[in-house]
Structure 1
Amino acid sequence: MKQMGVICGVDEAGKGSVLGPMVVAAVGCRATGDLAPLPIRDSKVLRPKQREALYEVILRDFAISIVTIDAAGIDDARSRMSMNECVAELHAEALTGLRPESAYLDACDVNAERYGRAVAARLVFPCDIVAEHRADARYKIVGAASVVAKVTRDRAIRDLAEQYGEIGSGYPSDPTTIEFLKGYIRDYGNPPPCARRSWKTVANLYQTTIRDFL
């Protein structure tokens, strides 16, 4: 059954990454004032130690639903739908874990209202959806979800680094990430399993690296 009075915030981390998973987190509370004592902001402007400390408090004191999709899962989803549709499905899945009465979402579509409708259409329970750009900076409940998603993904990236060595942040703008991909493709002839092969970055690096190697 739906939890009466629950308010949720939802955000994701790793949407644009070329390596590793994307993580969607939903955080629920009874009233937005419950988060007032916490110095929560958009996770990207917090230092790693601040995020980790807040993560532990949020995990202890609030309801949380986390959905993770790995690189292969993203590639499979993108063969059937757009990335925005994929994120909408995952946002809906995270919300379903808490079944709130209302939810605030960080919209990933250029049309925030359209994105809100896309998520609502994937729910099997009534929920008032508010989707806005930069919601993680405007609403503490979304900022809390941003912190949970970011910390969860950062930990996954650290696990991958233990397996593969230095891989950087996983984003295409990170030179360390690009060098890792080039080196792996050069050494093994294929992108690593943690890479999103449907990304143009991977396809372009594969073509360039293989051509140079040959």
Structure 2
Amino acid sequence: MKYLANKPPYVICGVDEAGKGSVLGPMVVAAVGCREIEDLADLPIRDSKALRPKQREALYEILFRDFSIAIVTIDASGIDDARSRMSMNTCVAELHAEAIRGLQPEYAYVDACDVNAERYGQTVAGLLDFPCRIVAEHRADARHKIVGAASVVAKVTRDRAIRELEQQYGTIGSGYPSDTVTIEFLRGYIRDHGSPPPCARRSWKTVTNLCQTTMQDFA
């Protein structure tokens, strides 16, 4: 699913994702466009993880009001399907390219999802059907405000999706394997239903291992 703000293409965009390593829920890729970097000068933007939730929400509203936005979301089953055909890094590169295509910028700064940032940038550029200079860097969300802006949009969008899942399933935590609340939710669901919930990424080792251990415990 893709949402495009109804604004004209901009010259520069930043791209980042949220939820790549999560075991529950979607991964969200966001692109934020501006005419020049100085457009962001007055906004207190940095890596979304360094901001409080209320700060992210406030910035999210400003970004949607004043900038061009593209959002691409892939749910758990979509991720499982993609991983059956390609690596996770390739999947992310395809989604980054899709978000960039929504804005058609001349330059795009992306948070590299490969140990080789230059190679990752070349991969994303090769997926585009228009000329765009890709600048891929590690920790780009902390180094470039435009990528930090994309980080905020992606994080808020994913957090809202997790809250929607909680309305369906109850408390599920953050969705990450390091979250004990998430793991306990998965363990309980598998125990009660005999299989993971639809919002779980079944291709993740975390889910596979929980299925094996939980069913053994209750065999």
Contact 1:4 1:101 in 2 (8 A): no
Counterpart Cα distance in 2 of 1:129 and 1:83: 20
Shift of 1:6: 1.1
Does residue 1:210 correspond to 2:215, yes or no?
yes
Q: Deviations over 1:152-171 (max 9, x none)?
A: 00000000011000000000
Pair 1:150 & 2:155 matched: yes
Alpha-carbon distance in 2 for matches of 1:59, 1:186: 42
Partner residue, 2:63: 58
Aligned residues: 212
Q: Which residue of 2 aligns with 1:165?
A: 170
How many Å separate the matches in 2 of 1:121 and 1:71? 26
TM-score by length of 1: 0.98
Unaligned 5+ runs, structure 1: none
1:5 Cα shift? 5.7
The reply on whether 1:177 has 2:176 as its aligned counterpart is: no
Which of the numbers 26, 29, 37 marks the counterpart of 2:34?
A: 29
User: Aligned equivalents of 1:4 and 1:95: distance in 2?
Assistant: 10
Unaligned runs of 5+ in 2: 1-7
Structure 1 residues 162-171 or 3-12, which shifts more?
3-12
**CA distance in 2 between partners of 1:125 and 1:108 (Å):** 22
In the TM superposition, structure 1's runs of 4+ consecutive aligned residues that sit over 2 Å from their partners are none
| Inter-partner Cα distance in structure 2 for 1:30 and 1:51 | 22
Q: Which residue of 2 aligns with 1:79?
A: 84
Name which of 171, 195, 203 aligns with 2:200.
Answer: 195
2:125 to 109, 120, 141: 120
Q: Percent identity?
A: 81
Do 2:9 and 2:103's aligned partners in 1 also have CA atoms closer than 8 Å?
Answer: no
- Alpha-carbon distance in structure 1 between the residues aligned to 2:10 and 2:133: 12
Is structure 2 residue 91 aligned with structure 1 residue 90? no
